[in-house]
Amino acid sequence: MFSLNQFPLAFSAKDLEPYMSEQTINFHHGKHLATYIKNLNDLFQDTKYADLPLNEIITKSAKDESAKKIFNNAAQVFNHNFFFKCLSKEKSPIPEEIINSFGSADSFFEQFKSVATSVFGSGWAWLVRDANNELKIISTANADTPIAHDLKPIMTIDVWEHAYYLDYQNRRPDFIDAILKNLINWNFVKENLEK
Ligand code: MN
């Protein structure tokens, strides 16, 4: 069984204002993530997935057509926990490797924004490392997650409407800009690059 306490925020709900409101954090972490955790607990009881580590539930259920709901909820738990770890109001420098891979910080921001803006409907934009050790910007639809595709997640932004609607309504590009320029915890990103 999982609980919300295993996925705490590293900041208090007010800390990301004005770029992300206290209300958004309270709903997003306290309601949306909590619901995915509850659904996962309800679904995996009495299945072979019960009590496996979260990453294993995801990679195994990804290959099991009969476990689609378990995959969706487990992946959403992973994705949200990873997303919240990507956020901080404290300024940190964008890692050299990203600047070198994409030419400049601005070029990285532009490419990430373009991918994140283009997600049709609900999904996620990611910086990942592929099997050739290259950094790539990709999107995943709905609950899908890089770890189901042998890609190592480095950074993400949630572009489901619930991530931004209270603060930005339909202006997803403004939300993405605000996060990229003000709220990315580059120290966490750097740790992922070095793992
Ligand atoms: Mn979300």
Which pLDDT tens digit goes with each residue over 49-63? 998 999 999 999 999
**How many angstroms separate the CA atoms of 151 and 97, rounded?**
17
- CA–centroid distance, 117 to ligand 1, in Å, is 15
Q: What is the pLDDT of residues 72-104, one digit of tens each?
A: 999 999 999 999 999 999 999 999 999 999 999
pLDDT computed for residue 51 by the predictor? 82
Distance 163 CA to ligand 1 centre (A): 5
Percent of the chain residues topping a pLDDT of 90: 99
Ranges under pLDDT 70 in the chain: none
Q: H-type helices in 86-185, by residue range?
A: 96-102, 105-118, 165-168, 172-182
For the chain, the straight-line distance linking the first and the last C-alpha, in angstroms and rounded, comes to 27
How far does residue 57's CA lie from ligand 1's centre (Å)? 19
Instruction: Specify the pLDDT at position 114.
Output: 98
Q: How many Å lie between the centroid of ligand 1 and the Cα of residue 162?
A: 6
Average pLDDT of the chain?
97
100 C-alpha to ligand 1 centroid (Å): 30
Distance 74 CA to ligand 1 centre (A): 13
Q: Are 4 and 37 in contact (CB under 8 A)?
A: yes
Å from CA of 34 to ligand 1 middle:
11
